[in-house]
Amino acid sequence: MVVRVFLYIMLGFGFLAGAPNQNVKPIKGFVYNYFDIEISNLKANNGENYRIFQAIPKGKKSYKNVIYMLDANAQFPMILNLYRPTKEPPLIIAIGYDTNLAYDRKRRTRDYTPKTLGDEFVKGGGADLFYKFIKEILMPFVEFKFDTKESQKTLYGHSFGGLFTLFAMLKNEELFDDFFIASPSLWWGDSLILKEAVLNGKFRDKIKAKFVNLSIGELEKRAGKTDKEGLLKASNLAEILRNSNISYRFKIYKNQTHGSVIPLNLQDLLKYYDK
């Protein structure tokens, strides 16, 4: 009960289906019938504090599937409120920040984006350090606490989070099995992260991902960003995945914007485990 009340206070109220804002709905009461909710604070080697939200399926001591997701402050309660009972509910590990805001724009910009040239991108570039935190601190913490070494692991991220999910996939270190890349901000660095990884229309290296789910809203546009000449788009990434013989799905959500696709992505993420 204490955890539930704390989450209600911390996460605030209200979510709009357009562009994401700084308010989210509290976790609904029914969720606690299926999950125990725990919150831990972990510190990266650079001193940054991360708030780790954990949804632990009740009555389970082993976990077939583990979802790692970004933007936890906003999207952790969102995915739980969308949950419907399944035979094998996933363990959900969500990475957030020690803030009452739904989105810490400054820190997520820093953490989710790779280094690149240009004044437009000077506030980012911390993806390597954030990846190192996940690999060396977060995942050992989760594996020790929940014994997930044999679990299938999925990484999910939207927008800058989608860009980081692509970044993690291109690291090719098999930390994760599946990647849910939602509305990736491929305009960052003029698509350099993807361009450098591709030769003759396919990835230079054999990507070890078992499955990639790529998605975007039909109405997603950002003036001066997504319309710049020479940028690669989600459709280009889908073609690269196909040419690289990677098991993937590319979904375009009709009549949806960059913000309104978020709950639809999370629904599809949950459905992926309802097999």
What's 2-271's CATH class? alpha beta
pLDDT in tens, 70-109: 999 999 999 999 999 988 899 999 999 998 889 999 999 9
Sequential DSSP letters for 203-251: ESS----SEEEEEEETT---TTTTTSTT---HHHHHHHHHHTT--EEEE
Domain residue ranges of the chain, discontinuous segments joined by +: 2-271
Q: What is the pLDDT of residue 4?
A: 47
Q: What is the pLDDT of residue 5?
A: 38
Question: Does residue 19 have a pLDDT over 90?
Answer: no
Q: What is the pLDDT of residue 18?
A: 37
Angle between helix 261-271 and 72-82 (nearest 10): 60
- Region 256-273 average pLDDT: 95
Which has the closest alpha carbon to 177: 206, 202, 146, 212? Answer: 212
Distances (CA, A) of 97 to 16, 38, 107, 235, 257: 21, 15, 8, 32, 25
- Region 235-248 average pLDDT: 98
pLDDT in tens, 151-201: 999 999 999 999 999 999 999 999 999 999 999 999 999 999 999 999 999
Q: How many CB atoms lie under 10 A from the CB of residue 140?
A: 10
pLDDT in tens, 28-39: 999 999 999 999
